[in-house]
Amino acid sequence: MHARRRGKAGSKKPLLAPIPGWVQYKSEEIEALVAKLGKQGLPSSQIGLILRDSYGVPDVEKITGKKITQIMEEKKLASKLPEDLQNLVRQTVKIKKHMEFHKKDMASKRGLQLTQAKINRLGKYYKRAGRIAKDWKLETEVMG
């Protein structure tokens, strides 16, 4: 959003392709794998990568009819904050720690401002959607 790049190039998933015949796992087995990986503390994005690369599951949603996060929420394994918001908060903490040692690094200061703006936008969206509490606010020691 803040960079001077254009578009979103890349491959897209087929819209209504059937489940490939070479997939060995049934819906219940995939849900059990998601639960097992979720208990190890992995976020949903990493679970999807592991299922794709190690287990040969091309698309969890197409096979189970649910997204990985929905499965994790049903099994009570989902985190309180959505994963993208959590990653931005983690990035803010890293930038703040960097800024303590490099006070004149204005590029990092700008990056911090942009990251905080993203957090505020995402927070507003998730409050409207009901995914986080209406009174949620990022701690002041992190925001600066």
Mind giving me the DSSP string for 58-113? S-HHHHHSS-HHHHHHHTT---SS-HHHHHHHHHHHHHHHHHHH-TT-HHHHHHHH
Task: Provide the pLDDT for residue 80.
Answer: 86
Residue ranges, the chain, pLDDT below 50: 141
pTM (2 decimals)? 0.80
Asked if residues 122 and 88 have their Cβ atoms less than 8 Å apart, the reply is yes
21 is a domain residue: no
Task: Provide the pLDDT for residue 32.
Answer: 93
Rounded CA separation 76/99 (Å): 37
Task: Provide the pLDDT for residue 110.
Answer: 95
* Residues 103 and 136 reside in one and the same domain: yes
* Residues 49 and 97 reside in one and the same domain: no
Task: Provide the pLDDT for residue 7.
Answer: 76
43 is a domain residue: yes
Domain count, the chain: 2
Rounded CA separation 61/94 (Å): 33
* Residues 111 and 130 reside in one and the same domain: yes
* Residues 137 and 110 reside in one and the same domain: yes
* Residues 61 and 102 reside in one and the same domain: no
19 is a domain residue: no
Residue span of the structural domain in which 95 resides: 83-143
* Residues 69 and 87 reside in one and the same domain: no
112 is a domain residue: yes
Task: Provide the pLDDT for residue 143.
Answer: 52
Domain final residue, candidates 17, 49, 74: 74
Compute the CA torsion angle 88, 129, 62, 54 (nearest 10 deg). Answer: 20
* Residues 112 and 95 reside in one and the same domain: yes
